[in-house]
Structure 1
Amino acid sequence: MKLQEMREEIINGPIERTLLKLAGPLIVNNLVQVVYNITDTFWLGKLGREALSAPGVTWPIIGTLMALGMGFATAGFAFVGQYIGAGEFKKAGRSAGALYSLMLFFSVTTAIVSVLILPYALRFMKVTPTLYPYAKTYATIVFLGVPFAFTYMAFSALMRASGDTKTPMKITLLTVFLNIVLDPFFIFGWGPFPRLGVAGAALATVIANATGAIIGFYLMFSGKVALKLSLSNLRPDFEFYGKLFRVGLPSSVGQSANSFGFVVLTRIIMGFGDVTYAAYVITTRLVNFLTSISRGISMAMGTMIAQNVGAGKFERAKRIAERTMLVNFTIASLAVLIIGIFRVPIFKVFLDDPKVIAESKIVLEYFLISVPFFNGIFIVVNRTFSSAGHTKKSMLLGIIRLWGLRIPLSYAFGYVGAITLLGLTIPLAKLFDFTSRGVFFGMGLSNFIGALIALVWFLRGSWMKAIIEKEAKGESKMTKGYQAEG
């Protein structure tokens, strides 16, 4: 059986070789998504500033919505991966089916509610009157396609839990290619297609997501992938739904809080003008590229963590996480070094503006040098916690880094004249002269401190406990530490 072969390699095979084997398709998958985002921006830019801004201004709303689904997909991934690691394939199938049915019901409900509250959300964000109709049109169409996005999200998570990272990559390549091809036809009305503008970009996205969801559904129910489902697996299982909510809700809340947190961070950076924000945006694109690689490796590690924790191989799971930290830290450090050496020509590819290029030196010195600690330690530890099913830990870790460190530190070093700690007054204004250096210093400092907190928490080992029920002596009993998230 292919699923058993995958399991054997994941829980007993060479760590580095298995990690890279699983990570390859995931890295490709993430990089393809980055390419699509750049292409989508390119086509919409031909329509003007409002059309270009529509996806960006609605992203905090869409991102918050998608975070809700990702939270439950993360929980399903942890349960199914641990059941497979424990060799309980029937329970893995039953859990996978329950996740599918829950995501379908939840996505339909969420899509309806989101469409109803969309106008109020856009007004709350103070979207300008000229941009409002574009943003509303784009988000409405994307929301109507949420059931497809959520069910494909579930499919991808389940495939990763089983150790199959190639199938989601192939489907993503197809759907992204379809999206890229449809974009100009729908946006500009090429050939027999009507000119839909921003609505065309959203419609292309929905069609691509629907294609991926349908293919994924067919593969799982036809038995053409390692994890096979039947219609009986889809029947409601309220006991398991309760477990999914218990494990998935913290992840959903944490990711939603992070999505909103970046809205606040954007406002802080925008306070220093267009030049600073442009340098930040370009840097973010570079960081997203780096994160695509490290995120792919971390996602592969997540599969290995989940199955090894399910198999009770906690020390092996710890070694897997530690070696992933080393790999990601090395890759990120080399990438930052290359960006530092070739900073000017790299930034000129995006925008040949002397002021922005000069500002990029500040971004590099005060923020970008901290990225290896974020990619190499923080992301790995966060993924380790969520893959082991300890989503409260990953939620708290994310909130601490963004809301407890990055936002207050960026604001303090960028805008506050002085702070007093233990009776000692620190003149921040003299250190940074109220320039962007303070904001980016605060952002970089948050990565260093966040990585340190994550590493200490990881080394404590409180995450090294399974969340599944195992069969022992004919009776179902909880594995030791099942209540650890309480």
Structure 2
Amino acid sequence: MERGKLLRMREEILNGPIEKTLLKLAYPLIVNNLVQVLYNITDTFWLGKLGREALAAPGTSWPIIGTLMALGMGFATAGFALVGQYIGAGNYERANRSAGALYSLMLLFSTATAIISLAILPYALRFMKVTPNVYPYAKAYAQVVFAGVPLSFSFMAFSALMRASGDTKTPVKISMLTVGMNIVLDPIFIFVLGLGVEGAAIATVLSNGTGAIIGAKILTSGKAGLHLTRETMKPDFGFYRKIFHVGLPSAVGQSADSFGFVVLTRIIYGYGDVVYAAYTITTRLVNFITSIARGVSMAMGTMIAQNVGAENYGRAKKIAERAMVINFLIASFAIVVIGLFRVPVFRVFLDDPAVIAQSEYVLKYFLISVPFFNGIFVVVTRTFSSAGHTKKSMFLSMLRLWGLRIPLSYAFGYVGAITVLGLTIPLAKLFGFTSKGVFFGMGMSNFLAALVALAWFMRGTWMRRIIEDESKK
């Protein structure tokens, strides 16, 4: 996106019709999310042919992968907020400088992350109580993915910078190319070359590497609204400090969130491979149908960042409120569809009566809470992070997972009774020490976290930009 197009997009984001602009930014992201989830479902389909253990391997290892990659996502969030607000304020020189600082920082940071990831992998899998049948598959998958972390971080930075400038199409085109590569390479590496689960991971890394190289070429070519040069990418500890200041809370929050899923995986695995397989397939299906809601949230983030940068706080609030309504309705529709077609769809992936029976509990006790999570919680946390108030989004994320989901899931799944203010509550009588209790606790965490997020959003303390001092220099 050239500078002239960047200026036109900025004008539309700041002054154009909210719904029209939101849709214009969202539809490429929606398509991208659908394609990404289609790949995940395809990956699940092929691995399901190898058996329950192979199917569970990516889902088992991704909480570990996500814990460390979330650090990079946190800094990408900071770069997104800074670049978006500088563009909104009309300060393009500092937008380019922030973009270069983010990109160089991500390259350095990702190398260290890859090394740490490989070192802690065996200990993390044991902590999660991964069953002996799944352990070798999960370890093989994660080792390959960890080796490709620098490539993933590079493309992550590219996507964040393009979205901050209002260009949601370019990263989506590249992402669709890489997903297409992945879909083609998956069966080749898994079956033709006989590499199994490890082959699926190799296909992922090769595809991500292609996207990273193309993204780097675009940013350094001068053909995008943002232009990275040797000068802008030189280590600049002043900008690094700014990115760390804004990004560290988000990085910590997202890493804690991802590590929380490591703990949650341990809790779910307490009921065996069958329960975890049902959970894995169900969440993949939800992700597919709610991809529209996530695309809307990401597009909203671009509009929030630039409007906050231009100090259009009232408009930013309206944008977030309308995104909440849209996403709540979309997620509600998703749950209805899954409820109607749950059994035949599950049989496509894994025709296992035990897994299909467990999927009913996931739907009944957990998935009904997804509209509150996608419609309210996700929109509020993205609003906070896009405005640069990453401590708020960090607190909400940690509250949902560590303050609510993990304690409630464990309590309803494993604890016989608790005493509150002298009153004994017999939890075991509700679900009888079954997986129902775990999923009920997960659902309750979404309801309660959404209420807290909505109340905080309405206070309006997030309506303050983070570039105030620098924009006056």
Q: Structure 2-normalised TM-score?
A: 0.92
| Cα pair distance change 1:355/1:150, threshold 3 Å | closer
The 3-state SS of whatever aligns with 1:420 is strand
User: For 1:20-169, what aligned pairs fall within 5 Å after superposition?
Assistant: 20-47=23-50, 51-125=54-128, 134-169=137-172
Indicate the larger mover: 353-362 or 410-419.
Answer: 353-362
| Cα pair distance change 1:411/1:53, threshold 3 Å | closer
User: Who is 1:226 aligned against?
Assistant: 225
CA shift for structure 1 position 292:
2.3
The 3-state SS of whatever aligns with 2:465 is coil
Structure 1: gaps of 5 or more residues: 477-486
Contact 2:79/2:160 (<8 A) preserved? yes
| Cα pair distance change 1:53/1:450, threshold 3 Å | closer
CA shift for structure 1 position 356:
4.5
**Alpha-carbon distance between aligned partners in 1 of 2:81 and 2:39, rounded to the nearest angstrom:** 29
User: Who is 2:282 aligned against?
Assistant: 283
Contact 1:276/1:436 (<8 A) preserved? yes
CA shift for structure 1 position 250:
1.3
Indicate the larger mover: 54-63 or 77-86.
Answer: 54-63
CA shift for structure 1 position 271:
3.5
Indicate the larger mover: 368-377 or 355-364.
Answer: 355-364
Contact 2:128/2:263 (<8 A) preserved? no
User: Who is 1:307 aligned against?
Assistant: 306
Output the amino acid matched with 2:37: V
| Cα pair distance change 1:94/1:280, threshold 3 Å | same
User: Who is 2:266 aligned against?
Assistant: 267
User: Who is 2:327 aligned against?
Assistant: 328
| Cα pair distance change 1:443/1:45, threshold 3 Å | closer
**Alpha-carbon distance between aligned partners in 2 of 1:197 and 1:270, rounded to the nearest angstrom:** 23
Mapped pair 1:296 → 2:289: no
Indicate the larger mover: 251-260 or 395-404.
Answer: 251-260
User: For 1:200-215, what aligned pairs fall within 5 Å after superposition?
Assistant: 200-215=199-214
**Alpha-carbon distance between aligned partners in 2 of 1:283 and 1:384, rounded to the nearest angstrom:** 27
Deviations 1:141-174 (A, max 9, x none): 3222222111110000000000111101100011
CA shift for structure 1 position 251:
1.3
Deviations 1:88-142 (A, max 9, x none): 1111011101111111111122223333444444455555667655544433332
The 3-state SS of whatever aligns with 2:252 is helix
**Alpha-carbon distance between aligned partners in 1 of 2:341 and 2:136, rounded to the nearest angstrom:** 41
CA shift for structure 1 position 55:
3.1
The 3-state SS of whatever aligns with 1:228 is coil
Contact 2:73/2:251 (<8 A) preserved? yes
Contact 1:86/1:470 (<8 A) preserved? no
**Alpha-carbon distance between aligned partners in 2 of 1:281 and 1:406, rounded to the nearest angstrom:** 17
| Cα pair distance change 1:147/1:272, threshold 3 Å | closer
| Cα pair distance change 1:448/1:122, threshold 3 Å | closer
The 3-state SS of whatever aligns with 1:9 is helix
The aligned length equals 470
**Alpha-carbon distance between aligned partners in 1 of 2:45 and 2:340, rounded to the nearest angstrom:** 28
Structure 2: gaps of 5 or more residues: none
| Cα pair distance change 1:136/1:284, threshold 3 Å | closer
Indicate the larger mover: 84-93 or 462-471.
Answer: 462-471
Q: Structure 1-normalised TM-score?
A: 0.90
CA shift for structure 1 position 260:
1.9
Deviations 1:343-378 (A, max 9, x none): 444444444455554544443332222111111000
User: For 1:405-484, what aligned pairs fall within 5 Å after superposition?
Assistant: 405-469=404-468, 475-476=472-473
Contact 2:46/2:187 (<8 A) preserved? yes
Identical columns (%): 75
**Alpha-carbon distance between aligned partners in 2 of 1:347 and 1:222, rounded to the nearest angstrom:** 46
User: Who is 1:368 aligned against?
Assistant: 367
Output the amino acid matched with 1:10: I
CA shift for structure 1 position 424:
2.1
User: Who is 1:179 aligned against?
Assistant: 182
Indicate the larger mover: 239-248 or 437-446.
Answer: 437-446
User: For 1:229-268, what aligned pairs fall within 5 Å after superposition?
Assistant: 229-268=228-267
